[in-house]
Chain A
Amino acid sequence: MAYTFSHLDHLESEAIFVIREVAAQFQKPMLLFSGGKDSMLILHLAWKAFYPARIPFPIVHVDTGHNFEETIEYRNRMADKYEVNLVVGYVQDSIDSGKVEEETGINSSRNWLQSVTLLDTIEEHKFDCALGGGRRDEEKARAKERFFSHRNEFGEWDPKNQRPELWNLFNGRKNYGEHFRVFPISNWTEMDVWQYIKREEIDLPSIYFNHKRRVFNRDGVWLAESPFNPMKPTEVAVEKEVRFRTIGDISCTGAIESKVNNIDDIIAEVASFRVTERAGRHDDKRSDTSMEDRKKEGYF
């Protein structure tokens, strides 16, 4: 046997080490689950990290109410398959209780409101750590993120005052009321994620693959026709063969025109992409530092 290790084995081993570190260092951790491929990957890695024991923490979904139906069905199915408890935080509850005001008009989105609901859910359940699927290759502010990322009692990130992180020694110590965000797949790229999904035969929501959908074009992004996406009078919905490259709230996730319907072709397509994954995310286009600003406030 050769003592060699592929890059995927490396990344897997590192992620599992980080996930086990979370279970060991925190009292009440949870896994943020959006139904997208990255959070699904963490769920799968967590299952491997604790097998044959069950995953020792619940999954939490922050539900904007503006979902793709397929995502909700998938979320429930995965919670059953991986034998984990599911906790749902509703953005609608945050709106009803007057904690946030809903944006109105064109380009309105509940995406920014998720931060408030997430922090409320963390407080209500006394979670002290949220595992998430953030990757450093996604966006330039995320490239500076630690594996163990401290959040103060307001849930805020202080990018200029992050704890140095050396070797594989993760410092998860904190005061009461503070929490951590932990990113086990920090070092994975989009391509690594797809290659691993193929290797492990991980189930994905159907909307990652080719389907027919009525969409309209706004600022170069194809958005789904939906009651949650009010259209300008000049915009027209057309039926197209599309798929989604990332999955978020319906109001900010752009589709791409694609006939791809299996993982191999997705990998080939990813290899040929000339724009980043987040180029299809309407929420990132608001400004150059949009992600950094949202992260400081507690966004994932």
Chain B
Amino acid sequence: MDLLRFVTAGSVDDGKSTLIGRLLFDTKTIFKDQLEAVEHTSKVRGEDFVNLALLTDGLRSEREQGITIDVAYRYFATPKRKFILADSPGHVQYTRNMITGASNASLSLILVDARNGVLEQTRRHTFISALLGIKHLIVCINKMDLVDFNQDIYQKIKEDYRAFSSKIDVPDIRFIPLSAKEGDNVVRRSEKMDWYQGPTLLYALENTYVESDYERVNCRFPVQYVLRPMKEAFHDYRGYAGRVAGGIFKKGDEVVVLPSGFKSRIKSIENVGKEVDQVFPPMSASIQLENDIDISRGDMIVKEFSQPNMNQDIDIMLCWFTETPLAIGSKFIIKHTTREVKAILKDVRYKVDINTLHRIQDDKHIGLNDIGRVHLRTSSPLIFDTYKKNKITGSVILIDEKNNYTVAAGMIL
């Protein structure tokens, strides 16, 4: 059985939590005690129907305010697939949470309220998904029950959406009219929308072919930890443990270790306890080399003719996570693969209007939830690919040394 990680974005009233509640409920992932707790709370709050949104809002303050403020993860499975869903808040002040939820997703669900059509937030969620390199979008036109399941309304929204999304780089965009509250076209085909011949949402989730999110050509193995057993039986064992970030490594392959540039050959590969002939992403493995060379955490094992970039100057698309605005000249810890170095912010190239994706060249003020292209210089070289080529070797986080908080996420350009 394979695994699909997806993210849902939607604002406070799009009915996102209700849609997720419906997916869980109709795939029989909701248990009796959970449902009883929700029925009880709905009744106490004087709501007319069982509020499925209460199933996903986990924190006390979220349930009190009826909104989702943090990313929550949900798990469900059908006989075809196992799903990990990052349920993220869609309001502009929670852009960072949506980026967090989207960072590990291969598919994004965008909710649109049929009564309101395409809004600024619809565009924002679409742009963020594209920015994070998500290749599959499903646009759920929700609350069709409130517009009499009218086909013209659905068509109009679809056209409006297509008009603006032609600008972005997402190869697969699909549209499904549904009603999360009533369950139409979520798991069960709607009887009220004969005009729609496409799949239900669950069918689409089960059958979307998610081509590998992993880079299978250029070999990348960031060394995470060095294994030295100190046991009689493994006297000379020196294994480099890590998770393959790109390409296929085979026993006998000639490799280069960066940053030193030393060359060697793979003596053996172990994939969690047993010897194997080859490993590929996202396997955790440990590699032994034929030569005894000095390798430590943060180094990268690659191949000679497909080497990554190695540079102290990088440009990243950055999303800023904290209240204090970004200042030119400020210093950070930059975390990239298994490497941690210092970095200084040299320049803000431009800010991105997250609602239109326009570049604003003359606005260099990056505040909470803002996205912009910046230039960084690091204390020692990073060994990287662009985010577009490889999400693992192309992503960074910035940490504020004063309080250890993760203040930004960045995608290397």
Q: Name the distance in Å between A281's Cβ and chain B's nearest Cβ.
A: 11
Give complex CA distance A14, B281 in Å: 11
CB distance from B167 to the nearest CB of A (A): 25
In chain A between 274 and 294, which residues have their CB closer than 8 angstroms to a CB of chain B? 274-276, 279, 288-289, 292
Decide: A4 and B282 in contact? CB cutoff 8 A: no
Chain B hits for A17, CB < 8 A = 224, 243, 284
Size of A's binding interface in residues, CB under 8 A: 59
A173 touches B333 (CB 8 A): yes
Nearest B residue to A220, CB-CB? B33
Docked pose: A48 CA to B231 CA in angstroms: 16
Q: B273: CB under 8 A from chain A?
A: yes
Q: Does A198 contact B (CB under 8 A)?
A: no
Across the interface, B100 reaches (CB within 8 A) one of A10, A47, A165, A274, namely A165
A164 touches B229 (CB 8 A): no
> Does any Cβ of A come within 8 Å of B225's Cβ?
yes
Q: How far is the CB of A168 from chain B (nearest CB, A)?
A: 7
Does chain B have a CB within 8 A of A85? no
**Residue B34 interfacial (CB < 8 Å):** yes
**Contact A187/B2 with A168-B243, A175-B404, A279-B33 known, Cβ cut-off 8 Å:** no
Q: Which residues of A lie under 8 Å from residue B41 when comparing CB positions?
A: 288
Q: Are A3 and B99 in contact (CB under 8 A)?
A: no
Which of B58, B82, B272 is the one whose CB lies under 8 Å from A143? B58
B60 lies within 8 A of A164 (CB): no
Residue of A136, A142, A163, A191 touching B405 (CB-CB under 8 A): A163
**B278 CB within 8 Å of chain A:** yes
Alpha-carbon gap, A6 to B1, bound state (A): 6
The answer to whether B96 and A171 have CB atoms under 8 Å apart is no
Residues of A within 8 A of B49 (CB): none
Q: Write the chain B residue with the least CB distance to A276.
A: B31
Give which listed residue, B2, B32, B70, B248, contacts A159 with CB less than 8 A.
B70
Q: Which residues of B contact A (CB under 8 A)?
A: 1-3, 31-34, 37, 41, 55-61, 69-75, 77, 82, 84, 96-97, 99-100, 103-104, 212, 216, 224-225, 227-231, 233-234, 237, 239, 241-243, 248, 270, 272-273, 278, 280, 282-284, 297, 321, 333, 335-336, 338, 391-392, 395-397, 399, 404-406, 409
Most central of B100, B212, B237 by chain A CB within 10 Å: B100
Q: In the complex, what residues of A have CB within 8 A of residue B284's CB?
A: 12-13, 16-17, 20, 49
Contact among B33, B71, B227 for A144, CB-based, below 8 A: B71
Residues of B with C-beta under 8 A to A20: 224-225, 241-242, 284
Query: By the criterion CB–CB under 8 Å, are B395 and A166 in contact?
Result: yes
Q: Are B333 and A52 in contact (CB under 8 A)?
A: no
11 A-B pairs in the complex with CB atoms less than 8 angstroms apart = A7-B82, A23-B225, A24-B297, A53-B230, A53-B234, A166-B99, A166-B103, A169-B395, A169-B397, A173-B399, A187-B73
For chain A, residues 152 to 205, give those with C-beta under 8 angstroms from any C-beta of chain B: 159-160, 162-169, 171, 173-175, 186-187, 189, 191-192
- Cβ of B234 to closest chain A Cβ, rounded Å: 5
Nearest B residue to A172, CB-CB: B404
Known: A20-B284, A48-B273, A275-B33. A166 touches B409 (CB 8 A): yes
Closest chain A residue, CB of each to CB of B59: A159
Q: Is the CB of B100 within 8 A of A143?
A: no
B231 lies within 8 A of A52 (CB): yes
Q: Verify if A1 is at the interface (C-beta below 8 Å from B).
A: yes
How many whole Å from B212's CB to the nearest CB in chain A?
A: 8
A169 touching B234 in the complex, CB below 8 Å, given contacts A5-B282, A48-B272: no
Q: Report yes or no: B70 in contact with A171, Cβ–Cβ below 8 A.
A: no
The answer on a CB contact under 8 Å between A160 and B333 is no
Rounded to whole Å, the gap between the CB of A42 and the closest CB of chain B is 14
Let me know if A24 and B282 touch, CB within 8 A: no
Contact residues in A for B282 (Cβ distance below 8 Å): 5, 10, 13-14
For B55, B228, B229, the residue with the greatest tally of chain A CB atoms inside 10 Å of its CB is B229
Return chain A residues, CB-CB under 8 Å to B82. 7, 192
Chain B residues, CB < 8 A from A48? 272-273
Given A51-B270, A141-B58, A288-B37, A162:B70 Cβ within 8 A: yes
Contact of A164 among B97, B391, B404 (CB under 8 A): B97
Q: Which residue on B lies nearest to A145, using beta carbons?
A: B73
The answer to whether A191 touches B392 (Cβ under 8 A) is no
Beta-carbon nearest neighbor of A11 in chain B? B3
Cβ–Cβ contact A3 & B216, under 8 A? yes
